[in-house]
Structure 1
Amino acid sequence: MRFAAASAVAGLLALGLPAAASAAPPAQCANPSGTYGGAVPWGQRLIDPARIWPLTRGDGQLVAVIGTGVDAQNGQFAPGQLEGGAGTERSDCDGRGTIAAGIVAAQPDPSTTFAGVAPGAHLLPIRYTASDGGDPGALAGAIDTAADRHASVILVAVPAASDSPALSDAVSRARSRGAVVVSAASATQQGARTYPTATSGVLAVGSVNPAGEPVQTEAGDHVGVAAPGAELVSTSAGAGGTVAHRWPVTDPGLAAAYVAGVAALVRAYHPELSGDQVVTRLTLTAHRPPTGTHDPRLGWGVLDAYAAVSSTLPADVPGPGAVPPPATAPAVLPAAAPAPRPSDVTAGTIALAGVVLAAAAGVTVAAVRRARRRGWRPSRFTP
């Protein structure tokens, strides 16, 4: 979402609509809509992180949020949850970085139904741009900073509009250190791509609305999965120490924040997996598009967070684009299937007994008919 100073832009923001990109930083910083007190936001219901928290809350994971910085003064971030140090930025005039960070790891709070996906994770806020279409060289430096700080998940909340060798090299270095690099497919012009979203090895994320329809323009073979990106609720910059939110927010770039949060949960629950293996798990367990195959805007389907964390899969299982023959293809088996109800067991036992009795009766009737035709003589005589 684009935050700017003009009153017309503010009106667009109130509707959750994107404003025109500007090369200059906004003259007025983002402000909260208030404290969200409505029903659990639809995107949060779809991901359903509370179902996963008994397994993991993402503890021990460091998620880098690369974009416009993150406002550490929002009361839904725990003390010490946002790490500081060289290269970090704990303020955010634009506001998009704070929205993305809240989706990843905002703490549950009694004043609101909104909560982040992985509240046990720590956040590494890195600013490389104050507007859209940031310099790819600056973005490369931000990714290097995240890798140097050992971020296990690197979320590019505001991708660049162009590529560069430096950016590709930075992604390669981060992946070689085991990081999962997640970036939003958020180009606004037909046929355009963002970077490192379209870079090999990056998990490119499309976005959907509450009806499950894709909402972003960017499309292609590089899109891996899709997640909520319209009519969202999340933490707001400018909260001044309170729990405050922006809503409704429509920005395809924010779908990547949901995926980054789930990636942190997967990494915490499966610490033995490499970054690339985490990406495979996320794409393999996604809800397939209606076609059953890859979709240029939905990728391999909409994120299924519980299946991604709990499914029983070999670590080296191939991704959905390279599935082995059906006889050897691994099954995706989410954990904790409920046991059959006693009534179901009883019904099944009765049904099975009925089948057995019916078969026995059939054998008996056939034997009697054959014996009657022989005049009840034995079927074989001894000479």
Structure 2
Amino acid sequence: MTKKRARDLGLPFPGKTGEFNALTDVPGVEIGFTTIIEGEGPVVIGKGPVRTGVTAILPRGKKDGMQPIWAGFYSLNGNGEMTGVHWVNDAGYFLSPICITNTHSVGIAHHATTKWMIQQYGEQFSQEHLWAMPVIAETYDGVLNDINGQHILEEHVLSALESAKTGPVAEGNVGGGTGMICYEFKGGTGTSSRIVSVNGEEHHIGVLVQANFGLRDWLTILGVPVGKHMPKEKILDKEQGSIIVIIGTDIPMLPHQLRRVAKRAAIGIGRSGTPGGNSSGDIFLAFSTANEMDIPQKSPDSLKMKFVNDDRFDPIYEAVCQAVDESVINALLAAETMTTIKPFGQKVHAIDHEELLRIMRQYNRIG
């Protein structure tokens, strides 16, 4: 049964959402998952238990040809990995899908995504001297998953890519978020979106997070210190997680503007209480599907791009912060309880919806 999301529970997050309240509200974006949940008991490296997966994001869907996806990158705290971002920082674009998985599966995800690209864009790779630099990101799931067993295989990554579609997006214990922990509750995958008006036209901003960060005492929802009111069953002595934030939009932007948008993810995750822990990889990527054009190797000497005046960005920044915050809370609300494997036998509980609502009523956040 699908769990209720933040708005379903009556939590008054600000802003107008798209149809799905998801990253897939950005036209053309497709998302797919592979989720692996196998085995119980103490960990045996290479055998399990396995609670992991892959999340695949295709910014332009499954088109026959590669086109630049304009982008900006920001790392609030760099204890993590996102491949391909050196070129994003230099050139302002990438060409690949985005895959998110666990820390020890970045390599196989990169390998498999390269294979998928060569197959998907076969004519371009056969006719041109092209190279693939996929964007692969990770967070650590070793508390709940046999991460050292490296259970993600090429077939799992390819399945996530091939299954990508538009429409509603699964949350919680799915894809790369399967084995993640957030504010010492069960965490995982979360998403949200906003509609913003630019020059009289409606555009979409969508967010997807892989939430694996934070200590219980930090957790704040809509300004309410929820974590301090839910002190039971903590599992961590110090913060040791990470969060990947992917922001997509159909608003035309230049790469420097997308980097500034990516920076706002830091404010978005801060609304739920994190200061950005030393051991956390807080890594953010923003992309725009506007300004479609051919790859540079096939383009003319002079190019033109449409973009929004920097002075008009305040409503965009506000919408990004709102959607990031809501995505984190949606991840918490959708997640389901799991048992730790290291150390063995502790419960990482899903946040209790009724207890959360009781606290929110106490602070007059809901009726």
Of structures 1 and 2, the one scoring higher in RCO (CA 8 A, sep 6+) is 2
